[in-house]
Structure 1
Amino acid sequence: MAKVHAYLNFNGNCEAAFQFYLTVFGGSLLGTHRYGEMPDDPSFSIAEEDKDKIMHTALMINNESMLMGSDCMEAFGPKAVFGTSSYIMLDTETPEEAQELHKKLSANARNMEMELGETFFAELYSSFIDQFGIAWMVHYEGDKKLG
């Protein structure tokens, strides 16, 4: 069964927010990727002042739930509008589960942001806005686990 995690978007203050969440929940960050670590891609570029911003970070809240977040980058679309900037992330246990959830949830999607496929951080990943306007991420990490 898929696990549901909260993924929060910020307008440049993700790192400060997660430092605060550490004081609230304890524990440690499971890993942090910055935009400057992304592989070079000629189809888009990251402004020098944005390279240190958070592309992805995560904090385990309990044995089953994570709080995750990133800074929104104007290069990838509009900045976060709070109240409508949340994604529901389904962290699947198998590639088959990821494929099935993606197929079912993305039927008649309003916006396919990223088709299900391999990335540098996951064996399978997709993001889209479903037919009802709900933002989803389907994720199967596989052999690309962080340290």
Structure 2
Amino acid sequence: MATINPYLNFNGNTEEAFLFYKSVFGGEFVSLQRYKEVPEMETEAKTNLTEDDREKIMHVSLPIGQNAILMGTDVLEAYGQTLTEGNNFSVAIGTDSEAEADKLFNGLSEGGTITMPLQKTFWGSYFGMFNDKFGIQWMVNYDYQ
């Protein structure tokens, strides 16, 4: 069965925000990855990043309840990303299988715009992103672990 979690986008202050959320909710980060740690970024895309961008958060996750995880990232202008109020969050769906991920991704993205096709990732997941036909941002993820 799919789970749904909020995924928040920040303009360079993800670490500050998540340290604050951690102080309120408690717990420990399940994941905290910086852009400099992305193995696929050993290409031109990574060399074009400033030192400041390399230190920014690519992904962080903090369990905030029995069945909820608060997740976030810093948007990077170097990648053409911009942050404006209203696009600073996504609905993240965690699935139990690749087949469920395919079904939900294909169904929800129909008539929308796919921003990252479902694919196997370096972090051990099957992951994709899209905006649905109503303008809502979605992420679909299946963890292989």
Query: Do these two structures clear the TM 0.5 threshold for a shared fold by scoring above it?
Result: yes
CA RMSD of the aligned region, Å? 1.3
Report what 1:33 is aligned to: 33
Report what 1:6 is aligned to: 6
Where structure 2 has 5 or more consecutive residues not aligned to the other structure, the ranges are none
Displacement of 1:43 = 5.6
The 1:122/1:137 distance shift into structure 2, 3 A limit, reads farther
1:93 to 89, 93, 96: 96
Deviations 1:52-76 (A, max 9, x none): 1100001101110011001111122
Q: Which has the higher helix share?
A: 2
Where structure 1 has 5 or more consecutive residues not aligned to the other structure, the ranges are none
Percentage of identical aligned residues? 40
Q: Distance in 2 between matches of 1:122 and 1:85?
A: 25
Report what 1:118 is aligned to: 120
Contact 1:86–1:135, Cα closer than 8 Å, also in 2? yes
1:59 to 55, 59, 62: 62
Runs of 4+ in structure 1 off by over 6 angstroms are none
Q: Distance in 2 between matches of 1:71 and 1:130?
A: 22
1:70 paired to 2:70: no
Q: Distance in 2 between matches of 1:5 and 1:117?
A: 20
Report what 1:135 is aligned to: 137
Report what 1:23 is aligned to: 23
Q: Distance in 1 between matches of 2:90 and 2:114?
A: 13
Q: Distance in 2 between matches of 1:24 and 1:62?
A: 12
